[in-house]
């Protein structure tokens, strides 16, 4: 039951206001008020009073200047609200309104005035509730949204959607048909989470917030390392010669470049690779922060001076060709390794994390703290500072530690910032380097109460990471990492009482949050196996909803899958649909280099990647998710081009090997019943294959697509007949080369002519389907 | 806010936007709004609210800089004043290519420039400060004013709102667009074009009649998809897709107006200039109402003067270049610049020679539509704000503090959208908020 708080004298007025605000006729306006309860008072404390204690807690806490008084609080974060409720309530019971008298300095208070007038009013209301002077009234505002109000995709539909997301490929009909239960879905999802594509997809999702691909591939992550600490940095340059003649045991320009790229790739991706490694190995997800190792490849191991037998690149192989070297030492081959003298703490101590979120002598790791808590502790520090402040309020030598306008963030931010203090502004491990600035930092810890022990002074981040992962906030942050990856949006934030449509927003939040809490518990019960989160999210109504039967516009606006496919996912989906990537060139090179991802139009920064909403992890670091006119044209351009050569190409293959046209030939005209039937059957197949639609052959959508095919065919054939259009295909759409060997085909095997306009009619159909809403978006809709 | 709900709130300008392009370009008299966000928190005391250092006798008769100067880079005595009474810092800094004299900006724009000093930003958090400046609301939920203007005045134009980031939340009232890369834009403007024949004629992927047929079939199918949806989230997305495709043909027009030297101009990497040029082309094409431009690097907690002043020079130079572009294109009278930052920076320097976050700021406005010139508001020598009289806008210790909410309210009025139902129903500013006549 969700509550709002009303003073008893206002109950009737407020209820009538509710009725008059256009709410539906459900229980939201008719439930009787419920008089006073601990739940109500606790709720009021949590929502209205708790954060005002920021003003008190910097002194009135363990280790604070007022620790010898009888009023000792815990940091007013979510997990401490219950404890602080008991503390403040007991204090009020014992001292009545002394807390206000002290806070307003109307009786002598060493800390002076700390309580604003609004905080005072809220505290007074709380005191009235505690002392029984006023009743805390709650009104039922609709309770929770029942799961029964949500219609779901079938398990088969869910599977198809999940398969495309996790593997980039549609499942076979057999697998879809056999997935009739959630257990079967679970089993299949486990299989999908073994695919290479799954880990590539995860890497992109992780980079969306870590942004460490900024350093990969062309920016030099290796240069972030200190030459003093790592004298083997750029080790390959010792073996590099610019001489044009091949010298034995030396790298030429090309080989040197490969070495540089391979080293850089591993170092840039250390944080992301660690996350993938932990998931792949079914380790507790907490290891992403607690790992006492880094992941190296054979080339970065040399940079770090780590010699792993039969793994680290050996000078004995300098005489090999670059192809032989990379075959023997794959750049994606990773090993756990420790660097002597470095207290590794998972992602936190990787060089690219520390540099992507750098520090300065005045920032003192606060940015690192804010990002760390945002990503891994379910705490958005920037969202804590939404209330107005006055400039003069923040004047003072230590305002950030004593003034409530500052402590609201700084008390949360600084202890964790302090935990990074052994790592300098460039990400180098230098314990004690910042001693002279220590006076400007709070003591390191998880919070102002939970300080790091002196014994951890040289490895505070190791201590911190172990503390963080024990906290529920890490578990919830983990759930939200995958929530964003799978649902394509942030989890709903708890609404504030002044927000528009507050009650509906609260219902929506609670509906979603309850599901996330449930998943969090399952995740924790599984020893923090991240795959559990992924499976539970996909099985949840948040992913599978395709209709909502209750009136909650806030929930309806976000429920279910409803998002534009990222450029990276679209790149793969195009390949899955037509068997051919959308790449940079036309003609021969397009075919020969089609698998080269660096040429794919949707993956290149200088082509359509960022125009289509993608990021470059640097100047563009957030995705565009709302389609605009330019992006709409990217869709049309893609569908137009990919309706060209890939259509012709598919006809080259034997029918049973085709992706697009398994039921028709390239000259099959709609002139007999049998032929028309085949064409409609192929259209039916295409709707299923490209759009995932299970339609009867007489469905109006099949008829509409057939009409497009037929009208294009009949008019085009006439133009060819009248010689107003060429009988040959556009040059870019012709098939001249063998798709396997890329050798020129015999002329009889080439596909150049289209006298009957059949190929072009099918090309129109493919363009139509590739530019369709259902191809370009991931949704759980109809 | 779903766009389908929103469309009913659009103004007469919306109808204009839906007219055929040629007619629309001829009749669209709305201005182009250029919002420039100096990201990181700029230091007004280093330019439009100048606070220099004082010289003091060091005891030996030698005049030296005071021990705790507000600024180390110029003397208080050297502060300059332009013809409209705007005081500014007598500084020069590298704009990325060559040295830029701040007086170029303040003197050349004297008859066009309005400065508001002593703004109570009410926060010193980056995210909340940006949000407050751009939406008028400190807490979350309101779209940026740039998005609202575009959404209301040109709801169906494909490039109504161009954004390079900053606070650009749209809440669905309009879709923000990124623009870059001329080659790609050329290709996207003519999606069916494969190449050009020797005689200059176009080679198409599909016969134009076929292409048109596909588009019509797709449009009909999209409408059927929209009608079938039971989930609002999906329905809204399909509507957004439909709307984006409705105007997608108009990119051709944009390409015609993009300057030839967009990829070769010596200042092509100036973020203000490069981002603003696309917006100007969009405006000329009748497709664009507003743009969000971000010019970063202002969060100078360390080594303030060396890092901050070049960022100011770069920003000023970018505005100069854009203004010149507007003059060249005959739209100088139509452009309104709104230039601001999330907050100011602390008085004086920290131990790292930097300046931290400070909740007193300034904004600058340029444009013929803004008839007020000079300075409104003010601050003390220590850069604490002075209050103003809410009627006369003169300094008045019994007056009020100007906030971003006040400025947004006045900007809404200047844009002529203050009474639009969308704003009054979904994004109202407090009725108790004073109505300051800041701009006209």
pLDDT at position B13 is: 35
Looking at residue B333, the DSSP 8-state letter turns out to be G
**Mean pLDDT value across residues A397-407:** 62
Q: Which among B213, B251, B301 has the least Cβ separation from residue A629?
A: B251
Q: Which chain A residues are Cβ-neighbours of B188 within 8 angstroms?
A: 611, 630, 633-634, 637
Q: Which residue is closest to A560 within chain B, CA to CA?
A: B233
* Chain B interface includes A771 (CB < 8 A): yes
Assess whether pLDDT exceeds 70 at residue A37.
Answer: no
Q: Are residues A293 and A165 in the same domain?
A: no
Strand partners, B366: B113, B337
Question: Would you kindly state where each structural domain of chain B is located, as residue ranges?
Answer: 3-13+29-53+65-189+252-425
Quick check: A774 and A674 in contact, CB under 8 A? no
B129 to chain A: closest CA residue: A386
More confident residue, A346 or A245: A346
Given a contact cutoff of 8 angstroms between Cβ atoms, the answer to whether A271 and A281 are in contact is no
d(CA A643, CA A637): 10
Are both A15 and A113 inside the same structural domain?
yes
User: Nearest by CB to B384, which of A391, A607, A725?
Assistant: A391
What pLDDT was estimated at residue A181? 93
Asked if B179 is an interface residue toward chain A (Cβ–Cβ < 8 A), one would say yes
- Tokens 């005891």 correspond to B59
- Domain range for A425 is 363-470
CA distance A286 to A462: 12
**Portion 481-500 of A in contact with B at CB < 8 A:** 493, 496, 498-500
Arithmetic mean of pLDDT, B406-423: 95
- pLDDT per residue as tens digits for the range A691-721: 999 999 999 999 999 999 999 999 999 999 9
The whole-number pLDDT of residue B220 equals 97
Confidence class for position A8, pLDDT limits 50, 70, 90: very low
Euclidean distance between CA atoms A580 and A574, whole angstroms: 7
Per cent of chain B over pLDDT 70 is: 92
Average pLDDT over chain B, rounded to whole? 89
pLDDT above 70 (res A668): yes
pLDDT value of position A388: 61
For range B320-342, the mean pLDDT: 95
Give how far B375 is from chain A: nearest CA, Å. Answer: 21
| Burial tier of A2 (Cβ tally within 10 Å: 0-12, 13-18, 19+) | middle
Of B391 and A440, which is predicted with more confidence?
A: B391
DSSP code of A401?
A: H
Look at B181 and A641 and tell me if their CB atoms are within 8 Å.
Answer: no
pLDDT at A439: 72
Nearest to A391 among B165, B187, B360 (CB): B360
Name which of B207, B221, B228 is nearest A719 (Cβ-Cβ).
Answer: B207
ipTM: 0.80
Statement: residue A565 has pLDDT above 50: yes
Question: Which tokens hold the place of A53?
Answer: 């204690």
Burial zone of A387 (CB within 10 Å; 0-12 exposed, 13-18 middle, 19+ buried): middle
Q: Which residues contact A13 (CB under 8 A, 6 or more apart)?
A: none
Instruction: Name the least confident of A123-132, A565-574, B261-270.
Output: A123-132
Show residues of chain A in contact with B234, CB under 8 Å: 546, 560, 562, 779-782
Whether residue B5 lies within 8 A of chain A, CB to CB, comes out as no
* Interface residue B218 vs chain A (CB under 8 A): yes
**Interval A281-304: pLDDT, tens:** 999 999 999 999 999 999 999 999
Q: A141-174: per-residue pLDDT in tens?
A: 445 667 678 899 999 999 999 999 999 899 998 9
Nearest CA-CA distance, residue B46 and chain A, Å: 18
Q: Which of A135-149, A261-275, B135-149 has the lowest mean pLDDT?
A: A135-149
Q: Where among A347, A379, A395 does a domain terminate?
A: A347
User: Per-residue pLDDT for A1 more than 70?
Assistant: no
| A68 shares a domain with A149 | no
**Mean pLDDT score of chain A, rounded to an integer?**
86
The number of beta carbons lying within 10 Å of the beta carbon of residue B1 is 20
Residues A408 and A553 in one domain: no
On whether any CB of chain B is under 8 Å from the CB of A596, the answer is: no
Of the listed ranges A20-34, A507-521, B83-97, the one predicted with least confidence:
A20-34
Q: What are phi and psi of B355, to 5 degrees?
A: -130, 140
Position A5 scores a pLDDT of 38
Q: Give the separation between CA A146 and CA A252, rounded to whole angstroms.
A: 67
Structural contact between residues A252 and A319, judged by C-beta atoms closer than 8 angstroms: no
Integer CA distances (angstroms), A619 to A605, A623, B162, in order: 11, 12, 16
Interface test mutation site (partner B, options A633, A687, A734, A778, max chain B beta carbons within 10 A): A633
Contact (CB, 8 A) for B70 and B383:
yes
Chain segment B12-53, per-residue pLDDT in tens = 333 333 333 333 343 457 999 999 999 999 999 999 999 999
A32 assigned to some structural domain: yes
Q: What is the pLDDT of residues A18-33, one digit of tens each?
A: 222 222 222 222 333 3
- Evaluate whether residue A615 is within a structural domain: yes
Determine, for residues A563 and B237 on separate chains, whether the beta-carbon distance falls below 8 Å: yes
Question: From B223, which residue of chain A is nearest by alpha-carbon distance?
Answer: A773
Q: Are strands B374-376 and B113-120 parallel, antiparallel or unpaired?
A: parallel
Q: What percent of chain A has pLDDT over 70?
A: 87
Residues 304-363 of A with CB under 8 A from B: 360-363
CB pairs A-B closer than 8 Å = 249
| Residues 6+ positions from A758 with CB-CB distance below 8 Å | A666, A667, A668, A669, A713
Residue A394 — very low, low, confident or very high, per pLDDT cuts 50/70/90? low
Report residue A545's pLDDT band, with 50, 70 and 90 as the boundaries. very high
CB contact under 8 A, A780 and B234: yes
User: According to the model, what pLDDT value does residue A69 have?
Assistant: 84
Percent share of chain B, pLDDT over 90? 67
> Residue B57 has which token pair?
């006798």
> Chain A, 170-189: which have a CB under 8 Å from a chain B CB?
none
**Considering the domain boundaries, does residue A9 fall inside one?**
yes
From the list A633, A603, A619, the residue with the least C-alpha distance to B274 is: A619
Higher pLDDT, A508 or A363: A508
Task: Please tell me the predicted confidence (pLDDT) of residue B10.
Answer: 40
B126 → chain A, closest CA residue: A382
62-101 of B, contacting A, C-beta below 8 A: none
Residues A584 and A438 in one domain: no
A768–B205 C-beta distance less than 8 A: no
- Provide mean pLDDT across the span B391-401: 96
Comparing A333-337, A549-553, B304-308, which segment has the lowest mean pLDDT? Answer: A549-553
For residues A381 and A445, membership in a common domain is answered with yes
Whether A22 and chain B come into contact, CB under 8 Å, resolves to no
Neighboring chain A residues of B297 at a CB cutoff of 8 Å: none
Q: A197 lies in a domain?
A: no
Of A611, A632, A763, the CB nearest to B178: A611
Q: Which of the four pLDDT bands, split at 50, 70 and 90, describes residue A86?
A: confident
pLDDT attached to residue A618:
78
The answer to whether the bond into A217 is cis (omega within 30° of 0) is: yes
Nearest CA-CA partner of B160 in B254, B241, B266: B254
Q: What is the mean pLDDT of residues A667-688?
A: 97
**Mutation choice for B interface testing from A559, A781, A782 by most B CBs within 10 A:** A781
d(CA A169, CA B28): 48
Alpha helices in A193-245 (DSSP H): 196-210
* Same domain (yes/no): A51, A80: yes
Q: How far apart are CA B298 and CA B43, in angstroms?
A: 8
Domain count, chain A: 5
Closest residue to A562, CB basis, from B158, B181, B233: B233
Query: Above 70 in pLDDT, residue A197?
Result: yes
Of A323-327, A628-632, A747-751, minimum mean pLDDT range? A628-632
Same domain, A531 and A642: no
Chain A residue numbers touching B175 (CB-CB < 8 A): 626-629
- Distance (Å, whole) CA B410 – CA A729: 60
For A434, half-sphere exposure in the C-beta direction (CA atoms, 13 angstrom radius) is 31
Of B138, B248, B354, the CB nearest to A633: B248
Is residue A358 included in any domain, yes or no? no
Residue A356 located in a structural domain = no
Q: Do A606 and A495 fall within a single domain?
A: no
The pLDDT score that the predictor gives to residue A2 is 36
Q: Collect all residues of chain B within an 8 Å Cβ-Cβ radius of residue A550.
A: none
The answer to whether residue A357 is domain-embedded is no
In 3D space, the residue among A158, A233, A165 whose CA is nearest the CA of residue A576 turns out to be A165
Nearest CA to CA, how far is B60 from chain A (Å)?
A: 31
Q: Which residues of A touch B251 (CB under 8 A)?
A: 629-630, 633
Residue in B138, B159, B351 closest to A388 by CB:
B138
Instruction: Mutation target for B interface from A628, A643, A691: give the one with most B CBs within 10 A.
Output: A628
pLDDT of A100 above 90: no
Task: Identify the pLDDT of residue A587.
Answer: 62
pLDDT at A76 over 60: no
pLDDT above 50: residue A34: no
β B32-38/B335-341 pair status = parallel
Any CB–CB contact under 8 A between B206 and chain A?
yes
Residues A398 and A542 both lie in one domain:
no
The pair of structure tokens assigned to A619 is 């100047």
- Residues of B in Cβ contact (< 8 Å) with A640: 191-192, 205-206, 211
Least confident of A262-276, A503-517, A654-668, B235-249: B235-249
| Predicted local distance difference test score (pLDDT) of residue B402 | 97
| Same domain membership, residue A379 and residue A286 | no
Using an 8 Å CB-CB cutoff, list chain A residues near B204.
730
The pairs formed by B388-397 with CB atoms below 8 angstroms and a separation of 24 or more are B388/B118, B390/B434, B390/B436, B393/B436, B393/B437, B393/B438
Interface residue B194 vs chain A (CB under 8 A)? yes
User: What tokens were used for B376?
Assistant: 């409104």
B303 touches chain A (CB under 8 A): no
Would you tell me which CATH number, out of the four given (2.60.120, 3.40.720, 3.10.450, 3.40.50), belongs to the domain B3-13+29-53+65-189+252-425?
3.40.720
On whether both A770 and A726 belong to a single domain, the answer is yes
Backbone angles phi, psi at B23, to 5 degrees: -65, -40
Is A199 inside any structural domain? Answer: no
């Amino acid at each position: 039951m969700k509550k709002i708080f009303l003073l008893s004298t206002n109950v009737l007025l407020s209820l009538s206001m509710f009725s008059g605000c256009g709410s539906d006729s459900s229980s939201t306006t008719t439930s009787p008020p419920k008089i006073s309860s601990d739940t109500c008072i606790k709720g009021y404390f949590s929502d209205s009073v708790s954060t005002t204690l920021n003003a008190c807690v910097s002194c009135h806490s363990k280790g604070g200047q007022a620790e010898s008084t009888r009023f000792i609080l815990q940091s007013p974060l979510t997990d401490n609200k219950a404890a602080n409720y008991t503390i403040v309530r007991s204090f009020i019971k014992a001292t009545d309104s002394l807390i206000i008298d002290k806070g307003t300095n109307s009786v002598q208070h060493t800390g002076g005035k700390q309580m604003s007038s609004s905080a005072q009013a809220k505290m007074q209301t709380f005191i009235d509730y505690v002392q029984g002077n006023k009743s805390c009234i709650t009104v039922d505002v609709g309770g929770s949204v029942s799961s029964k109000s949500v219609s779901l995709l079938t398990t088969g539909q869910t599977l198809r959607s999940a398969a495309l997301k996790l593997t980039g490929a549609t499942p076979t009909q057999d697998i879809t048909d056999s997935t009739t239960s959630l257990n079967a879905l679970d089993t299949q999802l486990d299989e999908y989470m073994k695919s290479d594509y799954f880990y590539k997809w995860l890497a992109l999702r992780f980079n969306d917030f870590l942004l460490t691909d900024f350093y990969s591939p062309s920016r030099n992550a290796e240069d972030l390392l200190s030459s003093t600490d790592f004298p083997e940095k750029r080790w390959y340059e010792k073996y590099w010669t610019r001489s044009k003649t091949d010298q034995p045991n030396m790298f030429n320009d090309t080989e040197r470049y490969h070495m540089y790229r391979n080293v850089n790739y591993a170092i840039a991706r250390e944080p992301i690779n660690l996350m993938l490694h932990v998931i792949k190995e079914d380790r507790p997800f907490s290891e992403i922060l607690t790992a006492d190792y880094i992941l190296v490849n054979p080339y970065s191991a040399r940079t770090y001076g780590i010699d792993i037998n039969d793994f680290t690149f050996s000078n004995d192989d300098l005489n090999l060709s670059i192809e032989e070297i990379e075959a023997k030492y794959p750049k994606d081959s990773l090993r756990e390794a420790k660097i002597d003298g470095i207290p590794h703490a998972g992602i936190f101590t990787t060089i690219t994390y520390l540099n992507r979120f750098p520090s300065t002598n005045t920032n003192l790791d606060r940015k690192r703290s804010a990002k760390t808590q945002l990503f891994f502790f379910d705490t958005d520090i920037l969202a804590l500072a939404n209330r107005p402040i006055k400039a003069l309020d923040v004047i003072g030598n230590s305002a950030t530690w004593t003034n409530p306008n500052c402590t609201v963030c700084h008390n949360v931010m600084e202890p964790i910032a302090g935990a990074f203090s052994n790592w300098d502004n460039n990400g180098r491990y230098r314990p004690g380097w910042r001693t002279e600035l220590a006076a400007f930092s709070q003591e390191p810890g998880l919070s102002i109460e939970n300080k790091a022990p002196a014994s951890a002074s040289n490895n505070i981040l190791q201590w911190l990471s172990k503390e963080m992962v024990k906290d529920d906030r890490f578990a919830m942050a983990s759930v939200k990492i995958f929530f964003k990856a799978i649902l394509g949006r942030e989890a709903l934030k708890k609404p504030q009482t002044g927000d528009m449509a507050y009650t509906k927003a609260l219902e929506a939040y609670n509906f979603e949050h309850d599901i996330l809490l449930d998943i969090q518990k399952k995740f924790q019960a599984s020893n923090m196996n991240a795959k559990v989160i992924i499976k539970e999210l996909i099985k949840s109504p948040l992913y599978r909803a395709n209709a909502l039967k209750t009136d909650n516009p806030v929930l309806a606006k976000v429920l279910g899958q409803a998002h534009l496919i990222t450029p990276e996912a679209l790149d793969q989906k195009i390949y899955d649909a037509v068997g051919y990537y959308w790449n940079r060139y036309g003609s021969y090179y397009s075919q020969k280099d089609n698998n080269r991802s660096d040429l794919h139009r949707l993956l290149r920064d200088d082509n359509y990647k960022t125009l289509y909403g993608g990021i470059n992890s640097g100047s563009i670091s957030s995705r565009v998710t709302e389609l605009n006119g330019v992006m709409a044209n990217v869709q049309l351009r893609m569908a137009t081009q990919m309706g060209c050569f890939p259509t012709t190409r598919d006809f080259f293959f034997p029918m049973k090997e085709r992706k697009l046209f398994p039921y028709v030939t390239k000259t099959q005209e709609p002139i007999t019943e049998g032929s028309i039937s085949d064409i409609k059957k192929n259209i039916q197949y295409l709707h299923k294959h490209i759009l995932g639609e299970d339609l009867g052959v007489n469905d109006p959508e099949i008829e509409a697509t057939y009409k497009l095919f037929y009208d294009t065919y009949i008019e085009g054939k006439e133009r060819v007949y009248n010689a107003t259009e060429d009988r040959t295909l556009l040059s870019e759409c012709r098939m001249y080369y063998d798709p396997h060997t890329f050798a020129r085909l015999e002329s009889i095997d080439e596909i150049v002519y289209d006298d009957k306009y059949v190929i072009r009619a099918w090309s129109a159909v493919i363009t139509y389907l590739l530019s369709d809403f259902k191809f370009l978006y991931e949704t759980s809709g109809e | 806010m779903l766009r389908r709900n929103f469309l009913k709130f659009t103004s007469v300008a919306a109808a204009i936007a839906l007219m055929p392009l040629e007619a629309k370009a001829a009749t669209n008299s709305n201005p182009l709004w250029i919002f420039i966000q100096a990201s990181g928190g700029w230091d007004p005391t280093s330019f439009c609210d100048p606070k220099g250092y004082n010289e003091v006798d060091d005891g030996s008769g030698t005049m030296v800089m005071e021990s705790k100067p507000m600024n180390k880079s110029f003397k208080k005595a050297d502060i300059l004043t332009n013809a409209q009474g705007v005081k500014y810092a007598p500084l020069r800094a590298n704009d990325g290519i060559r040295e830029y004299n701040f007086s170029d900006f303040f003197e050349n724009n004297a008859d066009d420039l309005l400065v508001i000093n002593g703004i109570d930003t009410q926060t010193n958090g980056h995210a909340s400060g940006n949000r407050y400046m751009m939406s008028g609301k400190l807490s979350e939920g309101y779209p940026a004013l740039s998005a609202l203007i575009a959404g209301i005045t040109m709801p169906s134009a494909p490039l109504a709102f161009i954004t390079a980031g900053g606070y650009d939340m749209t809440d669905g009232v309009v879709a923000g667009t990124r623009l870059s890369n001329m080659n790609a834009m050329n290709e996207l403007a003519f999606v069916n074009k494969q190449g050009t024949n020797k005689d200059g004629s176009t080679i198409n992927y599909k016969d134009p009649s076929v292409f048109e047929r596909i588009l019509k079939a797709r449009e009909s199918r999209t409408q059927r998809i929209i009608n079938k949806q039971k989930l609002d989230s999906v329905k809204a997305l399909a509507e957004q897709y439909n709307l984006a495709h409705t105007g997608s043909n108009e990119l051709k027009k944009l390409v015609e107006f993009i300057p030839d030297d967009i990829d070769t101009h010596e200042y092509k990497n100036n973020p203000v200039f490069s981002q603003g040029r696309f917006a100007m082309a969009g405006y000329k094409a009748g497709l664009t109402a507003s743009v969000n431009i971000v010019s970063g690097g202002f969060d100078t907690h360390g080594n303030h003067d060396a890092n901050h002043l070049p960022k100011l020079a770069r920003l000023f130079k970018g505005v100069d270049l854009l203004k010149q572009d507007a003059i060249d294109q005959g739209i100088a009278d139509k452009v309104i610049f709104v230039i601001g930052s999330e907050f100011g920076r602390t008085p004086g320097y920290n131990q790292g020679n930097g300046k931290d976050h400070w909740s007193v700021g300034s904004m600058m406005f340029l444009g013929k539509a803004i008839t007020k010139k000079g300075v409104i508001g003010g601050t003390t020598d220590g850069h604490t704000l002075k209050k103003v009289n809410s009627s006369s806008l003169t300094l008045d210790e019994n007056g009020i503090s100007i906030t971003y909410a006040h400025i947004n309210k006045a900007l809404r009025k200047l844009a002529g959208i203050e009474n639009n139902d969308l704003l009054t129903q979904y994004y109202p500013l407090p009725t108790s908020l004073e109505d300051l006549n800041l701009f006209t």
